[in-house]
Amino acid sequence: MYALETRGITKRFGSLVANDHITIGVRPGEVLALLGENGAGKTTLMNILYGLSRPDEGEVLVKGRPVQLRSPRQAIDLGIGMVHQHFMLVPAFSVAENVVLGMREKTGAVITKARLHESVREFSHRYHFDLDPSSRVGDLPVGLQQRVEILKSLYRGAQVLILDEPTAVLTPQETGELFKVIRHLQGEGKSVIFISHKLNEVMEISQRVTVLRLGKVQGTVNTAETDPPQLARMMIGRDLVHPARSRAETHGHPVLTIENLTVGQEGKRACANISLEVWGGEILGIAGVDGNGQKELVEAVFGVAAADSGRVILDGHELTGKGPAQAIDAGLALVPEDRQARGLVMDFSIAENLILETHRVAPFRRGMFIDDHRVGKYADAMIADFDIRASGGAGEPVSSLSGGNQQKVVLAREISRDPKALIAMKPTRGLDVGATEYVHRRLLGERARGKAILLVSTELEEVMSLSDRIAVMHRGALTGLVWPDVSQEDLGQLMTGAKTMFTATAPRGVGDS
Amino acid sequence: MPAMTESLLTMTAITQLLTSTMRTTAPVLLAAVGGLYSDRSGVLSIGLEGYMLGGAFGGFVGAYYSGNLWIGLLAAMIAGALLALLYAYFAVTLGVSQAVAGTGLVMLAAGGTGFLNRVLFRSSGDFVRITPFQPVAIPGLSQIPVVGQIFFNQNVLVYLAFLLVPVTWFLLYRTALGLEIRSVGEHAKAADTVGLNVTLTRYGCVLVSGALAGLGGAYLSLAHANTFIEMMTAERGYMAFAIIIFGKYNPLGALGASLLFGFADAVQLKLQIAGLPIPYEFLLMLPYVLTLVAMVAAGRTVSPASLGTPYKKQ
Amino acid sequence: MKAGERLRAALRPARQLVVPLLAVFSAFVVGVLVVALAGFNPAKTFAALLDGAFGSWYNFTETLVKSGPFLFTGLGVAIAFRSRSFNIGAEGQFYMGALAVSWLGVAIKGVPSIILIPILLGAAFVAGGAYGAVPGYLKARIGASEIVTTVMLNSIAVQIVSWIIKGPLQEPRHFYPETAEILSAAKLPVLVHGTRLHLGLLIGVLVAVAAHVFIYKTVFGYQIRAVGSGPLASEYSGIDVKRNIILAMAISGGLAGLGGAVELMGVTWKLYQNFSPGYGYSAIAVALLAKRNPLAVILTALLFGALATGANSMQRAAEVPAMLASVMQALVIFFVLAYAVYEEGFARRRSNRKRGVDRAKAGAADTVGGAGASND
């Protein structure tokens, strides 16, 4: 009998069928992997299992009995726990407060801090989680925050744990720790649904794999009887295409130079003494777990945040202490991390978004007016060049575009103004395989045109397949500058700061040519 | 001039000033404490001015027709809560801009109380009055020299206002319910995923803010002016909103800030009576200028993370 | 498909009218209910209201005259809204504009109208603009809620006016609490003999057109809109967010100040207590009803002018307090907000139905295109 199963779950949004007759089941003490790319319907299914949304058809069964899941509360009461990819923790609260939130039956109406901390500490010990109940969650590293989430579910008596992309934010070492925790829980008879799109992790931790594609179950296989290529085919419906790239030697010169850049005061440094040179015609990847200073580095280089010391030079132009306007004028382009907030004005049309940076100058500006005619022609050209799918043409608001097409608008804007250097921050986040491949091809295209590209990504696979050199950041410091053929193990150690390694201080071909 | 300054500084004068400070503080404090519930649950308490006006009018109507001040207070709370209910529907259920809805609510309360006041009371042109709340001396404590006069010889609404501060503090920081309210204001989705009802919590908090601010308004009509005057709240609701920010979203902070405002108001009144050679308009401006200064001084106070953001389930 | 799209495009402006019209209609329905519940005769009341606003040529011209202050303040609020600033301070800015004119319109002697009027209007724009720039600055630099600061500045403005009309600028006989009548050269000429229609109204329409061009066609307007709709994306694009917020608030205040000047120079000729019966607050409803579109503000201001004129005659003829108009203005705000949400929900359901297909298609095509290209 399954601990938790679904039968024929269907969920529609308009005519989009997000879940099409999904039938899955996880046995007691089993790890079931739910594999699928972005947009395959994993999140929708999970929200249904956790009572956050209701299916149009089908039923959910717990230990063989059909149940109604109208709210998370009911899911919790039925022993279903969920660890969201974006943690559902209150950063301003302590660990203990987060763990007991909403559990009045356990805490009582009046909360005494000492008693609260004692009971949470005890509970945390039972699972060998070393968590200090009084520390503020917002101050904890991501790996520990995830434990608070897991502890929270266990405290609520979860028998089935749903983990949504739990490794996305972890270092390889932290992932190893997480897997230990999962095996321990398994030993206690708990079931785990492990949602992921990473084949090797799925192979390592699960007993069975259910693959979703375009809202449908492609099949369920025993992990022991399958291999990554088969899973990949099931997941994307064809073989994975690795971007074609030439490992050509770089014949450029340093275009973007970052010298001893430091952000934040002593004691809470977001970036410490970062020095990098990005050469024309190379992609320099920055690997590292989220929150190790990548964001602050990019913000300081681009000028949206001030650096405390250090210099930024673009092709001879001093950008230190200047704002984004000067960086843009000097020829620096940025594909920001959060395209919907930082990349695009969502209420604006495609055309209006395309001139967000260039409206200030000719030819789009004429006197104090904006030349709508020229803007329209330019937008039409970009829509054609970048294959932006918009039913309403250049006047369509970007809010009605798909994520991939929104990213194409950002790419079109940044690339078309012919910058000297381009910074791409997690440029494929949330995109499906097709759109991801498109973004990769465009980045490689810019590389071929001799641009200096700084690629920041937490997807190791992306960094390793696209970069000419890889820089690794840990706790705001540079721990490595290596070639992309570096071993996974070395990379993992660089990402955790266990060692440093500087083998690729200049692109290949420099020095020996 | 020196003689006057002297007379302002006698012991009796100071006692009087502080006694009066307690009274001028009470209405803003009631509104500010009420607003805290709303803000802490993530809903901007921008409509406080409207609830206060509703409470001032509702309280007066209730007391006038029943002849009972307590029924007046009940009516004030109901009036404030009803206006808050309307605001909550827009802010929580529909998820519209809280600034706009709150401002609309103030306009509705101003127009509505003005309209009804004229329909009910102003055909004759004279102010209709009621017998206001009287000071209640607390046996024993009120006998303490100076302190007794200032703190323990006040009307019930003053006691209630100051009592609500520790009560609210305890509720927010020492109970499970308080933890839940704060979690909804900090991270609504996290609260939702542990099974808390975000909508219900926010409605409850907004209604409480309406009822308490309604009491604050009733203070003006039932314990101060003894009648209803159009726009009698004179932006005290907005001051309460500023006080909450200045007090860093903490009941104790709100108490301190309210006392500062109450004191400024009491000084201002005192100076008007003293007949200083300053145009009284400048004295009347004082609370408004103080509010501006407080907003500047508060700067970018850390507010509840979800404040002003409507929560929508998928 | 093509024809259908063109038809839909043609109907788009008409669809824009649905929410405002429904909102106004609903506010009237509630207004009728309120009047009936308060014990008045609704038919008589609203007949008086309509008659007051449109009953005769003269009444209609009075409606136009009354709509002037709503037009200017409404334009101001609409422009501030564009930068996501909520200017409740039009009231105070309106007073500041009037105050500047009530002083300079007496003080600058011996200058012909053609020079004096532009000077006065410019001064009022600057006075109102400065009064709007202050909360803009506090919002942009310090993060102080512009709602609180503008409300406080309104109260301060009212006190300043209250003092000044009994103090430094009181009329020469020191009898009434009002300023001296401005010079003849400072008065805006009447356009149609026998009415109070003055040049200021024409200026108002021109300003609305200018505001429209400013917002939709200029670099400044583009930046203000960008900052309002996407502050972070604007910052990342090198647009100075803070400067644009201050600019929008200053222009907003300037327009409200201009409104005060036009009302004083065209209608009242002097400044007194309650010179504004709350135009600055009504302006919020005017701007919202117009969906922040400057040209549409001309229409909504007219509607509010009619409501104000009608409410006065309603009070005279049916003895229903004119405060009813304020209630209805607030109701308009609520109905606009509610219907906009309902409309959005309706539109989303429709486009979801449509987009589901598109996205499925686009997704498939993306994948094919991606694979095809990388095989090159």
Q: Nearest C-alpha of chain A: how many angstroms from C82?
A: 12
Looking at the 3D structure of chain C, how many domains does it have? 1
A265 and A283: one domain? yes
Selected residues 274-303 of chain B with any CB under 8 Å from a CB in chain C: 279, 281-282, 284-285, 288-289, 291-292, 295-296, 298-300
pLDDT tens figures, A391-423: 888 999 999 898 899 999 999 999 999 999 999
Q: What are the backbone dihedrals phi and psi of residue B194, each rounded to the nearest 5 degrees, phi first?
A: -100, 15
A73 and A128: one domain? yes
Contact A499, A241 (CB under 8 A): no
CB of C356 within 8 Å of a chain A CB? The answer is yes
Q: What distance in Å separates the CA atoms of residue A286 and residue A455, rounded to the nearest whole number? A: 6
A82 and A168: one domain? yes
3-state secondary structure of A387: coil
DSSP C218: B
A227 and A216: one domain? yes
**pLDDT confidence bin for C365, thresholds 50/70/90:** very low
Distances (CA, A) of C121 to A341, C116, C255, C257: 40, 9, 10, 9
Looking at the 3D structure of chain B, how many domains does it have? 1
CB of A214 within 8 Å of a chain C CB? The answer is yes
Inter-chain touch B118–C321, beta carbons under 8 Å: yes
A146 and A275: one domain? no
Is the ipTM here above 0.90? Answer: yes
The domain spanning residue A136 has which CATH number?
A: 3.40.50.300
Report the share of chain A in percent with pLDDT over 70. 96
Strand partners, A258: A276, A312
C81: chain A residues, CB-CB within 8 Å: none
Does pLDDT of A119 surpass 50? yes
Looking at the 3D structure of chain A, how many domains does it have? 3
Query: Is position B135 within any domain?
Result: yes
Question: What pLDDT does C371 receive?
Answer: 28
CB of B228 within 8 Å of a chain C CB? The answer is no
Query: Is position A438 within any domain?
Result: yes
Full-model pTM: 0.90
Mean pLDDT of A269-283: 92
- Which chain C residue has the Cα nearest residue B122? C321
Return the partners of chain B (3 or more C-beta pairs < 8 Å).
Answer: A, C
A107 and A178: one domain? yes
pLDDT tens figures, C265-311: 999 999 999 999 999 999 999 999 999 999 999 999 999 999 999 99
Query: Is position A245 within any domain?
Result: no
Does pLDDT of C6 surpass 70? no
Does pLDDT of B123 surpass 80? no
Inter-chain touch C367–A433, beta carbons under 8 Å: yes
Query: Is position C43 within any domain?
Result: no
CA-nearest of C66, C130, C146, C93 to C258 is C93
A53 and A176: one domain? yes
Q: What distance in Å separates the CA atoms of residue C71 and residue B250, rounded to the nearest whole number? A: 42
Query: Is position B29 within any domain?
Result: yes
- For residue B126, the tally of other CB atoms under 10 A from its CB is 9
C217: chain A residues, CB-CB within 8 Å: 369-370, 372
C330: chain B residues, CB-CB within 8 Å: 104-105, 107-108, 110-112
Indicate the range of B11-20, C133-142, C261-270 predicted with least confidence: B11-20
Query: Is position C233 within any domain?
Result: yes
pLDDT tens figures, C179-199: 999 999 999 999 999 999 999
Selected residues 131-190 of chain C with any CB under 8 Å from a CB in chain B: 138, 142-145, 147-149, 151-153, 155-156, 159-160, 162-163, 166-167
Does pLDDT of A304 surpass 60? yes
> What range does the domain containing C186 cover?
71-301
Query: Is position B130 within any domain?
Result: yes
Compare CB distances from C327 to B86, B102, B111 and report the shortest one's residue: B111
Question: What pLDDT does C3 receive?
Answer: 60
CB of B64 within 8 Å of a chain C CB? The answer is no
Inter-chain touch B112–C327, beta carbons under 8 Å: yes
Inter-chain touch A72–B193, beta carbons under 8 Å: yes
A34 and A124: one domain? yes
Query: Is position B311 within any domain?
Result: no
Q: Which of A367, A388, A418 is the last residue of a domain?
A: A418
Indicate the range of A37-41, A55-59, A506-510, C324-328 predicted with least confidence: A506-510
CA B149 to chain centre: 23
Q: What distance in Å separates the CA atoms of residue B33 and residue A427, rounded to the nearest whole number? A: 46
Inter-chain touch A434–C355, beta carbons under 8 Å: no
A15 vs C327, residue with greater confidence: C327
pLDDT tens figures, A191-232: 999 998 888 889 999 999 999 988 899 999 999 999 888 888
A143 and A167: one domain? yes
Q: Which of A418, A439, A454 is the last residue of a domain?
A: A418
Does pLDDT of A313 surpass 50? yes
A128 and A261: one domain? no
pLDDT tens figures, B69-95: 999 999 999 999 999 999 999 999 999
Inter-chain touch C229–A345, beta carbons under 8 Å: yes
Query: Is position A179 within any domain?
Result: yes
Q: Which of A385, A418, A451 is the last residue of a domain?
A: A418
Question: What pLDDT does A496 receive?
Answer: 81
Query: Is position A479 within any domain?
Result: yes
> What range does the domain containing A407 cover?
346-418
A481 and A409: one domain? no
A194 and A286: one domain? no
Query: Is position A481 within any domain?
Result: yes
Q: Nearest C-alpha of chain C: how many angstroms from A281?
A: 20
Does pLDDT of A171 surpass 50? yes
Query: Is position C271 within any domain?
Result: yes
Give chain C's mean pLDDT. 89
Q: Rounded to the nearest 10 degrees, what angle do helices A372-385 and A403-416 cross at? A: 120
Contact C45, C320 (CB under 8 A): yes
Tell me the residues of B at the A interface, defined by beta carbons under 8 Å apart: 174-177, 179-180, 182-183, 186-187, 189-196, 305, 313-314
Expressed in angstroms, the distance from the first to the final Cα of chain A is 67
C329: chain B residues, CB-CB within 8 Å: 107, 111
What are the DSSP calls for C83-121, one per residue?
Answer: TT----THHHHHHHHHHHHHHHHHHS-S--HHHHHHHHH
Query: Is position B258 within any domain?
Result: no
CB of C84 within 8 Å of a chain A CB? The answer is no
Question: What pLDDT does B6 receive?
Answer: 52
